[in-house]
Amino acid sequence: MIADYHSLIVEAALRTRGNDVFRFCIEDLPKHADIEFHYDRTSSRLALHAMGSSVLLDEIDVVWNRRSRWPVLPAAVTPEDREFCEKQLKHVKMSLQNLFGNAFWANSEVAGRHADAKPLQLRLAPTVGLAIPDTLISNRPEAIRAFLRRYEKVVHKPLVGHVWSEDGRCYSSYTSSVKSAELPADAMLRAAPGIFQCQVPKSHEVRAQFLGDTCLAISIDSSRLDYGEFDWRRAQRSLGFAPAIQLPPAVHKACRDLMRTFGIVCGAFDFIVTPEGEWIFLEVNEGGQFLFLETLSPGIPVLDAYCSFLESMDPEFRYQEPLHPMRLADMSKTLPAELALSADQLLRQEDTAIRETLSFRQS
C-alpha cells in the first residue's frame, strides 16, 4: 500500500540497516505492477515488477504480508470483461503465497485469514487458557434480544471493521453500547451478523504486540478517554502517554499457544484487565497497527524490534535491545515531507466519526 505509513517507515528502516527491500502492492496489479513467470521443462523464473524495479521470487527470503488487498482493475476494462479479468487477478494473488520457496512469512495468507476469523478466535482462546467475555455472534433476532435481556450491559462490535463515506465525511465502525430498545428491525438484524458481548468492568486495557516470543505491551487507561468505556481507539490521540507493561507469564504463554495454533508469528492482542486483576482476551489482529506503541511509550523500541524480528526470520524470536536502538522519531525524519506523519497523525491516520453499526437505514 503506497500510502501505508507502517510499510513506508519499516521499508526505510530496513534499507538504513543494509537490507535490500522490494515493495509490491498487490492492489496495484495490473495498473502499476506486473508479474512475469517463465517456465520450461527444467526450471522456472518468476519475477515481480513494480515502482520501477524488479525482483525474482527465489531471491526473497522474508515476506512481510502487510494487509494485502484484492487487485484493482483499470477503468478501461469493459463491464462485460470485468468478471473475467478479476478472476485472473485473484488467481494470481492466491497463487503468490506458494511461490516464494522457503521464505519466512509474517504472516502467511492462510494463517492470517484463520487468525482474523473472530468466531474461531473466541472458540480457541479458552482452549489455551485465555478468559473471554460471554459472547453471542448472531443474526437471529430472537437470540440477540434474549442475550440483551440476560445482561445489564452489552456491547456490539462488527465481525469486520468498515469505513463509510457519507455526505463528505468518513464514519468508522467501533465497539458501541447496545440496548434492546435501540435495536433495528428484525430484517436488518438478520442482514448483518454481529458480535454481542457482556460488557466487562475495566481497571485498564492492554495492547500487546507479539513478535515471535517477544511481547511489547502498553497499559491503556481508557477511563481517561471520551468513549473509552467502549473503545479506546476512538480517542487514542488523547492518551498522551501509556506506560509499558509486562504480561503475566500464564497470559504470555497462552498468547503464544494461540499464535502457534493459528500458525502466525506476529500479532497484536487486546485485553481488558478487570478491577480484580483478571485478564480478559478480546481479540488478536495478525496485521494490527504497532508503531503507535512507540509513540505513546517512547521507551519501547518497537521499530527496532520489528526490523530485528524480520531480519531474524525466527518464529521464536527474542529481542535483545541494543545500546542504541533505531528510534521511530529519528527514522520518521528521513521520509520525504509529503510522506512523513506527525505523532498525532500516526495515532489516527483517518479522521473518522463514530458510526453505530446497528443504526442501519432501511430502504
- Of 169 and 195, the one with more pLDDT: 195
- Of 69 and 282, the one with more pLDDT: 282
pLDDT at 27: 83
- Of 335 and 354, the one with more pLDDT: 335
pLDDT at 14: 95
Half-sphere exposure (Cβ direction) of 217: Cα atoms closer than 13 Å = 22
Q: Rounded CA gap, 11 and 172, in Å?
A: 28
pLDDT at 134 over 60: yes
pLDDT at 352: 45
pLDDT at 123 over 60: yes
Helix (H) or strand (E) run with residue 101 in it: none
Using 50, 70 and 90 to split pLDDT, how confident is the model at 343? very low
Q: Rounded CA gap, 192 and 172, in Å?
A: 16
Closest CA to 268 of 203, 346, 215: 215
pLDDT at 320: 97
Other CB atoms within a 10 A radius of the CB of residue 209 amount to 24
Domain positions in the chain: 5-105, 134-199+344-363, 201-332
Using 50, 70 and 90 to split pLDDT, how confident is the model at 231? low
Average pLDDT over residues 188-192: 91
pLDDT at 107 over 50: yes
pLDDT one-digit tens code per residue, 306-342 = 999 999 999 999 999 999 999 998 988 877 665 555 4
Going from the C-alpha of 27 to that of each of 43, 103, 174, 295, the distances in angstroms are: 28, 21, 26, 29
pLDDT at 119: 96
Which amino acid type is present at position 197? Answer: Q
Fold classification of 201-332 (topology level): D-amino Acid Aminotransferase; Chain A, domain 1 (3.30.470)
pLDDT at 42: 95
pLDDT at 67: 80
pLDDT at 226: 57
Average pLDDT over residues 277-298: 94
pLDDT at 363: 44
- This prediction's pTM: 0.88
- Of 355 and 188, the one with more pLDDT: 188
Other CB atoms within a 10 A radius of the CB of residue 91 amount to 10
What does pLDDT average to over the chain?
A: 87
Average pLDDT over residues 105-130: 95
Closest CA to 196 of 154, 227, 139: 154
pLDDT at 349: 46
Residue % of the chain over a pLDDT of 70: 86
Closest CA to 317 of 361, 359, 266, 253: 266
- Of 202 and 237, the one with more pLDDT: 202
Residue 45 three-state SS = strand
pLDDT at 350 over 90: no
Average pLDDT over residues 55-74: 88
Cell of 313: 526470520
User: Residues 210, 255: contact at Cβ < 8 Å?
Assistant: yes
